[in-house]
Amino acid sequence: MLFYLISVLVVAADQAAKWIVRSNMQLGEIVPFWEGHLVFSYYENSGAAFSSFQGYGQYFAIVAAGFVAAVFYYRHKGELRGPLLEAASGFLVGGAVGNGIDRVLFHQVTDFLVFGKGGGILNLADLAINAGGILFVIHLILGQVKSSMIKRKQIKQN
């Protein structure tokens, strides 16, 4: 249930924020929000992260669809269990779907968040993908720690 809740909330928040930006800002417009920390800057990215692969964005929609299908496959097999993996996969799928919608409908992704001075420009789907990736890494680290503790316990018992 956590997976679906996070996925739906991410897609809804991402699409709503992008609609607000497209409706209320001019392309290229910059609006300072939190001096030195956050700026809204309306940009349309037809490529991938860091504006790489400009013009090839539609191919990333295919990659996103494949990724989402893989997550559903592994969820169905029961390999993505537990609150941490539910949340991680929810953020990852929500972000992939949010940006995928833009790529299918507009052939580009609306970006508008710039953190810090000279930082890259992102959207809420990108932030969700980053959050999902971090949660997944935390899951891997906790798994390693747990495995290490079990091995130590087994060595002490022998």
Helix (H, G, I), strand (E, B), or coil: what is residue 13? helix
Q: Verify whether residue 111 is a known catalytic residue.
A: yes
Q: Verify whether residue 126 is a known catalytic residue.
A: yes
Find the catalytic residue in 111, 112, 121, 122: 111
Which amino acid is present at 27? L
List the beta bridge partners of residue 45: 109
List the beta bridge partners of residue 38: 34, 115
Find the catalytic residue in 39, 126, 129, 132: 126
Instruction: Please state, as a whole number, how many other Cβ atoms lie within 10 Å of the Cβ of residue 115.
Output: 14
- Looking up tokens 């607000």 gives 20
Does residue 95 contact residue 132 with C-beta atoms inside 8 Å? yes
Two structure tokens written together for 26: 């001019």
Positions marked catalytic = 111, 126
